[in-house]
A and B are shown apart, each in its own frame.
Chain A
Amino acid sequence: MGEKCESILSGVNDDRTDFKYVGTWDHPGRQSWDMISGVAVYPTDLWEEGTLTAMALHSPYGHAKITGLDTSEAEKIEGVKLVLTYEDEEIASMPKYRPSYYEFGASPLLGDEAEFEGDEVGVVVVAVNEETCKRALDAVKVDWEALPFILDAREAAKPGAPILRPEMNPDSNMTGNTFGAPVEWENGNVEEGLAAADHVAMIEYGRPMWSQFRSMPPAYFSYWANDPWGNPDGEKMCYVTNHAHFPSNGPIVSAYMGFGSHADKFRALTPYMASRYCDFVEKRGAQLAPLLSKRLGGVPVRFVNTRRQSFDAAVPQTYITGRIGFNDDGTLVAVQQRNVHQSGARGGYGDKTHGHLVLPPNAQAFKSTVCPNIYSDMAYYVTNGACTTADPGKDMWEPVNLAFAHIANALNMPITDVIMKNVKVTDPSLSACMDAGKKAFDWDGKWHAPGAKTLEDGRLHGVAARACWSMTWGMISYNINLRMGVDGKIYMPYAEALIGTYWPDAAQLVIAEEMGMKPEDVIVYYAPNYNNWQQGDAADRGSSVTWAAKEAAVQLKAQILATGASLFGVTPDEVDLVDSMITLKADPAQQMPIVGIGQLAVGYCGKPETPFQNDVVRTMNVDFCEVAVDPETGLVEVLDYVAAHDFGKVIRPASALGQLEMALTQAEGRALREELIWDENTGVLLNGNMYDYKVPTALDQPKIDSVPVESRMGGGAYGSTGVAHAHTNAGLVGLAIQNATGGDFITMQPFTPDKVLAVLAAQQA
């Protein structure tokens, strides 16, 4: 173990141990109850009498420009209410930079150039129903000019590649089709490090574009109604669904700044979104629906996509090649890598101005090792895939663990030993995860040298382990408002569109715990236009939210006790809140309900003091995987998956372990089956459905053994931290497959039978 990073173990990470609710089970969550009971209203559930349907033209080409457009026949179709084209003045005046700050470039909201197959382009129609919309769109005469397209970021990286976004990089003709200039980062001297190393190995890593598998096609519902608060200029209020996990009406408002309207004129209709993952870019219907409704006098308009049209890409391609140098004792001494990251035509998570990619992401991970010499360069390369929005940077420990596996194999060491020798951060978190995970997995009993074990049924047996950090996420400021009502309940509004992170339920327990309230007396509720999220990014947000909730709870409790003390005729120090009752400390039998003592409220906006991302305390997690590989068919089965995760402090076990199991299931699918596949000749997405894009079914879900570790080293309340992202890594399964076959590492995910068979064939050859 190398050096430790500094931990901040005061303040937010207090050492409280007497938890009554935090860390316990059987607390019904407001959101989960809504979803399971059917109370939750999703955008597709919204409908009102007189609702019209809107649809857009979608490009049949991988990249194309509209050179001629005739909508006259479409406008004649009975039931068609409105046909707008990209030449409409109001559409043309919409902000070119759409609400997500992850989008880039200057493509208009509805333009004449389709940037990928399925892109919304040229025309939108509003009609009495979906079928009429389709007929109208079929009647639109479109002249297309097909343009060159790129599907693979490696092709886009080649000098001379077609330039899709010249405004993003004036030097593109020199550097390939990049979004912004490449980034370089170096620490030490890599060439010297490689020269001095006992061993040098090549590593190669690749992952495809993954989908966010949206099970429910989105519908964007909007109408305009009289402002209930009145308005001197008569402007109506817009009600609209929100489809990204942004807070409240933020993205909608920003889209309509061009209207000269105000934020409080837009009201989000529902927080529920249904199974989306890390999608920061709205479909264009989200912004077009309010406009179309407005043009039709405010009638409800439901902008729809077919299930195929809403099957987006999310996680981008990543390719890494390079060399590592290591010594006989297993120490990594040099890393030299090139990163090729994909960006979709319309967006990517590469805006360096937001601080995410101050250095190449895998360099961030290698920086957490003892390796003194690191060089990494990286660039985003623009392709004609659909929206590509998720961050390739957070989880880039996969190349680190791949490097560890190479070292382990070369030196015939267990990879667990290589991890412990090289990862320099966050003891005791790493040690605790490693020890707990090894025990749960029976690592010492299962580990063997590559290619050394065959199961009784003839399949090859493999195991592997990998380490990864869990984000502490001190970057976000959360805004928590608490109000004690006359009914003696504590109310906490939230507004974020929900995709499964369930943070209000965790915040509820923290508030109850901190205040001395019963959980059922802490009410979290959806409040349109409220805004919890003040700045920054929001992955694994539980840490920041719980911290802010705790601070707010402390303040409100102080107010309640001050009031209660005066009623008892004592000082605030002499009373406490116990089970929602003001209680005299000296005589706990003397209690007073807080019902009716008045209304009190506090607001707290802030973030954990833990610095963001680099060189900070990092809670870790260590996963273990056991596979069986059929040598005759190449089929891989995950037999066992142990995830030892340092939650810092588990706030709500049902949420925490559920997140873990979700992430590991996602990892299984990504490792073995999932990839978006385009036809190379046309740029058309081939597997944009749930049959051909093979997410895991219940039967495919591996046996998952979640091992919670609590180091109290996170940035959130009681030292808690986030959960999910790290475990969505698919690379671990690949390391286990290599341990099974004893052959080459498969360099491109997913690890499908064709690739496994190719490795086995190469061995035989």
Chain B
Amino acid sequence: MKHFKHMQASSADEAANEAKNGTAWVMAGGTDLLGTLKDEIFPEYPECVIDLKTIPDMDGIAEEGDALRIGALAKLADVAESDLVKTHAAALAQAAGRVASPTIRHMGTLGGNICQMHRCWYFRVPDDRFHCKRKGGATCPARIGDNRYHSIFGDDNGCFASSSHDTAPALVALGATVVTTKREVPAEEFFGAHGHRSNVLEDGEVVKEFRVPKAAKSAFQKFALRKSIDFPVANCAVAQTADGATRVVLGGVHPAPWRSREAEEAVAGGVTADAAEAAGEAAVSVARPLGKNAYKVDIARTLVKRTLMDIAG
């Protein structure tokens, strides 16, 4: 690992200001960033890493009217165990509880989880072996390479990686808002393949908190090859408001969480076993798997059905 300066921020604005020229990167739990720095996956290295953990009062979980306010530095373990979250945003609690391992969940934060970079193995091979589109290259090597874990719903800016953050589909399904030092962004518009980032954040922009509307019902399911310390092959979050409107969001199937309006239409009349099954079929009806990941279509179909059944009745 190369040397870098280390700065402990006292506020989100201070961190954002220090990071505005792009040579400083921000770090919360550090469970993702430090690995990428060790492996030197990028051609460029940050001059400075700004530690956000020293910012006071940015890890709270509180109820505010018909929404929850969750600080970006809230530990994943705390989100998973919070009675407020479990009661009003069950999908988010379940998703946070499925991230990585207990150790990592006690270090990693909700803000860090949604900002972690894609786990695409072409992107992550050390020493910039694959100078892919995300790093300024011309092509996405996964498109004709080993894409068994990649997108089944096409590309985003030429990238076929799959979103790997477990909490992202839950936040999108719940209709959450991401509050940064510059703006408020609906979670649905927050994610994507933008340079090395997996979201729309700009240099000098730091996530401060999340506003998560209370849901009448919500649920999350994850499919991974290991029971612990594994990124999703696919995951799914669903959320239902008091008026019965249901959102269905898949993760691990596209560079950003994939909201399936086809599936939502299938359960517009209510979530029953038949509707859930139809929603699963509808969700994958527009899938475009790559050469080695057609099996993920079956898994996505099943996840949609099963996650919806968790809120049926």
Measuring CB to CB, which residues of chain A are less than 8 angstroms from any residue of chain B? 60, 117, 130-131, 134, 306-308, 632-635, 672-673, 677, 679-682, 684-689, 691-692, 694, 696-700, 752-754, 757-758
Contact = CB atoms under 8 A, between A and B. Distances in A.
Given A684-B130, A753-B299, A672 B146 contact: no
Given A308-B127, A679-B122, A686-B146, 18 more contacts: A60-B129, A130-B1, A131-B2, A134-B2, A306-B126, A307-B39, A308-B126, A634-B295, A635-B223, A679-B145, A680-B146, A681-B141, A681-B144, A689-B39, A694-B225, A700-B227, A753-B225, A754-B148
Nearest to A754: B295
A692 B124 CA distance: 10
Nearest to B127: A60
B5 interface: no
A694 B223 CA distance: 14
Contact of B228 (A308, A679, A697): A697
A694 B226 contact: yes
16 contacts: A117-B129, A306-B38, A635-B225, A677-B146, A679-B130, A681-B144, A682-B129, A682-B141, A686-B146, A687-B121, A694-B230, A697-B101, A697-B226, A697-B227, A697-B229, A700-B227
A632 B144 contact: no
A134 B126 CA distance: 13
Contacts of A753: 225, 233, 295, 299
Q: Which 7 A-B pairs have the closest CB atoms?
A: A754-B295, A699-B227, A632-B302, A697-B228, A686-B121, A699-B228, A308-B126
B119 interface: yes
Contact of A692 (B3, B121, B130, B223): B121
Contacts of A699: 226-228
A680 B145 contact: yes
Contacts of B228: 697-700
B226 A696 contact: yes
Contacts of A700: 226-228
A730 to B, nearest CB: 15
Nearest to A632: B302
A681 B146 CA distance: 9
A117 B127 CA distance: 12
B125 interface: yes
Interface string B200-232: 000000000000000000000001011111110
A691 B299 contact: no
B298 interface: yes
Interface string B123-144: 0111101100000000001001
A691 B145 contact: no
B129 to A, nearest CB: 5
A686 B122 contact: yes
A389 to B, nearest CB: 23
- Which of B125, B298, B301 neighbours the largest number of chain A CB atoms within 10 Å of its CB? B125
Contacts of A633: 223, 298-299, 302
A458 to B, nearest CB: 11
Contacts of B124: 689, 692
Contacts of A694: 225-226, 230
Contacts of B223: 633, 635
A651 to B, nearest CB: 34
Contacts of A308: 39, 125-127
Contact of A306 (B39, B121, B144, B301): B39
B225 A679 contact: no
Contacts of B233: 753
Contacts of B145: 679-681
B141 A679 contact: yes
A686 B125 contact: yes
B225 A632 contact: no
B231 A131 contact: no
Contacts of B1: 130-131
Given A307-B38, A684-B125, A691 B225 contact: no
- Which of A685, A691, A700, A753 neighbours the largest number of chain B CB atoms within 10 Å of its CB? A691
A688 B39 CA distance: 11
Interface string B28-47: 00000000001110000000
- Which of A308, A635, A688, A694 neighbours the largest number of chain B CB atoms within 10 Å of its CB? A308
Nearest to A761: B298
A701 to B, nearest CB: 9
B149 to A, nearest CB: 9
Given A686-B146, A691-B119, A757 B226 contact: no
A699 B98 CA distance: 13
Contacts of A130: 1
Nearest to B126: A308
A673 B225 contact: yes
A687 B124 CA distance: 9
